[in-house]
Structure 1
């Protein structure tokens, strides 16, 4: 039966001009990653084609199950299970379609782990170059808007990224290519240019978490991973950190850091700018109150702790993507500004913290499963001593503290594709060991005897 399936599926692929192998997989995986900054439709189509190709090109000898790749699938299974107790089944069903990458991407990798190992370097190179092209498009679009409006804000933060893909998500997409340009061997002028270009773009996007993580990881690489002489390492490290501090001080990052960590409440143009302390302690807010990023996240953690003590959600949560209903109710209770018609009112926002969001939606078991996935990813990164993998693992752990990154389609596709790319590769020498094993098994048989 398996032979019949392989024959028919391979014949179908050949009919449309494809055949099982490394090159088509490199193309499809690269395309999934490169289309992430585009609209959801483009990325979804490419993702579906990648999964279909993987299924149609599957051969029995190429299917290799991996415990690491099973973990995201278990998380998706738990999300499906949450339908049994969800307080908002409609929202949970909609979210399951967005989270489907957790199931289908690892499944596609199971069928192609040998080929993907051979194409990993090409995939990262294509993704990195694609993000440079995306960065050029983003800057060009901002320049056109500046010419039309004269407003310099178009070069910074969400205005640069646009609402279709906010600054934090775009910064994350640029970060992994940044590390590829940093670590690529035999650097050319264009590799240095690519690193500097993406580094500058990340500062313009002004996502504090991403900038801090990227700067620290780059500094660690310059100090401990380069092959330069000790004096040259220190010189490069000092120059890099000085450049980062100057960019941060004179750009929007410096302004945002000062605003985020203010400890004194103040009023500007009739708007009350709340401190972190006020966000945690105030019982009734007014619609003139303004939460900066840090204050709003503290407020969200606060209402989560209130929900945790008021309702029996420790073991189950409210169901996948069902907690916003309770967040909205808490917003009414504390009188935070409701939805203003644009979908950006404080009362309709999610927790902006993936750990809290997971606990609220899936309970403690979903939360622990998320920690297991992130911990296993980090452990594997250090075990393989792959610096890009290490950087990716640390970036994700930090980013999930400030964003519900995995509860968004773009975020879950980005994470799952790279998680599988780094953790789903077959060990080095696997094909050689399998060949030797088959040879040894064959040599033990009597000449001319065909096994049943």
Structure 2
């Protein structure tokens, strides 16, 4: 097969650096530079191996690329019937990531085991550096104001221009990667926290290189443990309730598979208890994010039948979402747009009109539906929602073929977040949705768009 002669894209260190630079500019919300870097990556992908037409042909015969492309096209279809062509075009333009990022993965071999490990550590260190930067700025602001709010939730990440919940998604993915076998130190004994001690390792030790290898493994193990603890603490400060619950589930799942992740049961159990206890303290004591947890105990149905609110009405996050979703139903009914939607150019304007009619001035204009499924339904109708669900079904099928814990949890976190946020409307989560489900799948074949089984077998044996 042609792909057998295809050198994995990330084997080139320059390309690996470019991929990390794209993630870095996404996290820091440098979107103009981010767009230029993505275009540069596409050019590099096309000229890699000097077979641009072959790259295009491989992508357009890959069902996973076509799944992402279909989501983009259903958004672009709104250009045909929108009342605000400019706004609709800007929305379509912002969705180009749905085509560009999957093209990188689906146009040839993207990475091998070594490249994946290098990306894993590069990504985790990049994210840790970003988190430390946020904490350093928060510390400076605390010194100026004495206000502890700067260490929690949105104030913590506003310096990089990213929603705290969206940043939490990146942190959860980093934890999943660190808990995967790919992050475990190579060689050594499973009991000691390393990988499988094979014959090759024993020969290296016999030749006098075992000491250096063991020191390197020990450094890797310490770095891994430190990053897991740091990211767990960062998740608590970011205070995303949904993703904190998922984090506890991830730790409990790994508790039953501790041999797989080369961590002791006490280490995983300790992390789980720490996250639960600290989250409980935040929920039950006076602190800057107490209000977020108390939202869960409010009567979320008290405004269920109202259509006009007093200026001093107080809404929880759940109440606001329920109202937004009710407005979505009203918009589709009034516009007779259940089949193809009202287009991306008109949906936000119609929602803003609902806010004003309900006397909700405290909700800033541009506040979207906070649910990607509802967002697509209003913009592209039942037709668009069916396309989106079909694309998710393709990703479920890809994840099933991958067969790894991190692949399932990455996809699950994407789907859960899409139920409470319009994840394709911001570059941070749009990029994550396009990049990480394909990255954890590693390598796609040209003909069927499925995983190479040999990769799963070799990873299972730690080779």
Partner of 2:415: 397
Q: Aligned runs of 1:103-142 on 2, under 5 Å?
A: 103-115=99-111, 119-142=115-138
Partner of 1:176: 173
Partner of 1:28: 18
Q: Secondary structure at the match of 1:35?
A: helix
User: Is 1:360 the equivalent of 2:384?
Assistant: no
Partner of 1:407: 425
Partner of 2:273: 242
**8 Å contact from structure 1 (residues 352, 404) kept in 2:** yes
Q: Aligned runs of 1:288-303 on 2, under 5 Å?
A: 288-303=312-327
Scaled by the length of structure 1, the TM-score of the pair is 0.80
**8 Å contact from structure 1 (residues 377, 423) kept in 2:** no
**8 Å contact from structure 2 (residues 67, 394) kept in 1:** no
Match for 2:241 among 190, 205, 208? 208
Q: Secondary structure at the match of 1:286?
A: coil
In structure 2, the CA distance between the partners of 1:118 and 1:318, relative to structure 1 (3 Å rule), is farther
Does 1 or 2 have the higher relative contact order (CA < 8 Å, sep 6+)? 2
C-alpha offsets along residues 156-213 of structure 1, whole Å, 9 cap, x if unaligned? 0111011711111111121211111222212611101001101111110111112112
Q: Aligned runs of 1:175-324 on 2, under 5 Å?
A: 175-183=172-180, 184-186=183-185, 188-224=221-257, 226-227=259-260, 233=265, 235=266, 238-251=269-282, 255-256=290-291, 258-263=293-298, 275-324=299-348
Q: Which sections of structure 1, spanning at least 5 residues, go unmatched? A: 1-18, 264-274, 339-344, 432-452
C-alpha offsets along residues 246-291 of structure 1, whole Å, 9 cap, x if unaligned? 110222697245421233xxxxxxxxxxx41123222210221122
Q: Secondary structure at the match of 1:378?
A: helix
C-alpha offsets along residues 103-128 of structure 1, whole Å, 9 cap, x if unaligned? 12222333342556763332222111
**8 Å contact from structure 1 (residues 69, 420) kept in 2:** no
Match for 1:387 among 405, 423, 430? 405
**8 Å contact from structure 2 (residues 406, 440) kept in 1:** no
C-alpha offsets along residues 225-258 of structure 1, whole Å, 9 cap, x if unaligned? 544999x64x555433321221102226972454
Cα RMSD for the two superposed structures: 2.7
Q: Secondary structure at the match of 2:99?
A: helix
**8 Å contact from structure 1 (residues 280, 302) kept in 2:** no
Scaled by the length of structure 2, the TM-score of the pair is 0.78
Number of residue pairs aligned between Structure 1 and Structure 2? 394
Inter-partner Cα distance in structure 2 for 1:294 and 1:212: 16
Inter-partner Cα distance in structure 1 for 2:442 and 2:175: 22
Inter-partner Cα distance in structure 1 for 2:83 and 2:113: 43
133-142 or 119-128, which deviates more: 119-128
C-alpha offsets along residues 5-64 of structure 1, whole Å, 9 cap, x if unaligned? xxxxxxxxxxxxxx9963333222222123221122332222121112112325266663
Q: Aligned runs of 1:13-92 on 2, under 5 Å?
A: 22-38=12-28, 39-57=30-48, 58-59=50-51, 64-65=58-59, 66-92=62-88
Partner of 2:355: 331
**8 Å contact from structure 1 (residues 323, 361) kept in 2:** yes
Inter-partner Cα distance in structure 1 for 2:112 and 2:433: 17
Q: Which sections of structure 2, spanning at least 5 residues, go unmatched? A: 1-8, 186-219, 445-450, 456-463
Inter-partner Cα distance in structure 1 for 2:335 and 2:128: 47
Q: Aligned runs of 1:145-164 on 2, under 5 Å?
A: 145-162=141-158, 164=161
In structure 2, the CA distance between the partners of 1:300 and 1:249, relative to structure 1 (3 Å rule), is same
Inter-partner Cα distance in structure 2 for 1:35 and 1:350: 24
C-alpha offsets along residues 121-157 of structure 1, whole Å, 9 cap, x if unaligned? 3222211111011111111111111111111100001
